[in-house]
Amino acid sequence: MTTRVAICGDLFMRAEFFAAALRDAVPSGLDLSSMELPWPDRPMHHGYEAGDLSGLKEFMGAPEEIAAFVEGAEVFVNHLAPVTAGMLARLPQLGLIAVSRGGPVNIDMAAARDRGVKVVNAPGRNASAVAEFTIGAILAETRLIRAGHESLRQGDWRGDLYRADATGEELSALTVGLIGYGQIGRRVVPLLLPFGCRILVDDPYVALSAEHRAAGVEAVDLDRLLAESDVVSLHARVTEETKGFLGAPQFARMKRGAYFINTARGPMVDYPALYEALRDGRLRGAMLETFWQEPPPPEAPLLKLPNVTLTPHIAGASLTTVRAAARMMAEEVRRHLAGEEPLNPC
């Protein structure tokens, strides 16, 4: 018996990677069709508050076009395409949606449950990439890599960055605070340990591993982490509890001259408050990978500050991530076809 599988990839999660992983996991019996969306060359939508797409976040594609492509398929392997209640009503044969994201933010989960469509995702698929990127972000700030680059690119040889009152400490002399100890935070810890820095972790829902406790990592509350850390790095997930939870009071609790790193998500941060803390010199610098909207408006004052390093939400971008996500989705499809329980049900 042949199973029809529709694959919707893009210019990062290429459909060919999904297809190759599927053929490895299920060598026969699959009828694969694929399409690709133009992300990241074109930005995705970040939240939509009206019509059939209400409640969906971080998606790309027109529902009518996606539904027409998926029609008749029993399995939909997806990255960014939206799946709405209206679309599911047109797809009675669909039994599984495998979405290669950390969360199914582009899927109407209530509608999927109502129609008995299983949804699986790929938690941690880019955790290694983001953890590695975080170390680079911390070094870019604390070792003045960004400051030196910006000045030299403009023809200014900043020899003064070698002055004792301009340079800073090595990581071995710093305290790094990690807000969040999930898939990414847990991977940042072992990358930081060889530097010899003190590591604090705040996560009210996840306990430190025995290995990390033995290595000297300390579990603390948020107030203590902010007060004692030279570098604060955000690794929490966006929930109703965490939306905007880093604002003016929290930045005021941080050490004067500390650094803030955000490789997580923008909605957790009050960016006007962060701007004030950076402009006034309370925080020495920040590395921002995500924003309140993406892309942020080019005239935004935060983008003009000289003590901020900016990247366009690329921390998870690696071929390792692509291959890992494709393998995870292929294994979920294999299990579905074999009648086995999913590894990561949503």
Report the catalytic residues: 265, 294, 313
Q: CA 314 to CA 95: how far, in whole Å?
A: 32
Tokens of 209: 């591993």
DSSP 257-315: TEEEEE-S-GGGB-HHHHHHHHHTTSEEEEEES--SSSSPPTT-GGGG-TTEEE--S-T
The pairing of beta strand 3-10 with beta strand 75-78:
parallel
Alpha carbons 41 and 188: distance in angstroms, whole number: 29
Decide: helix, strand or coil at residue 316. coil
Q: Which two tokens stand for residue 247?
A: 């604002």
**What tokens appear for 103 in the block?**
């969360």
Say if residues 36 and 55 touch (Cβ distance below 8 Å): no
- How far apart are the C-alpha atoms of 138 and 141, rounded to whole Å? 5
User: Is there a contact between 199 and 192 (Cβ–Cβ < 8 Å)?
Assistant: yes
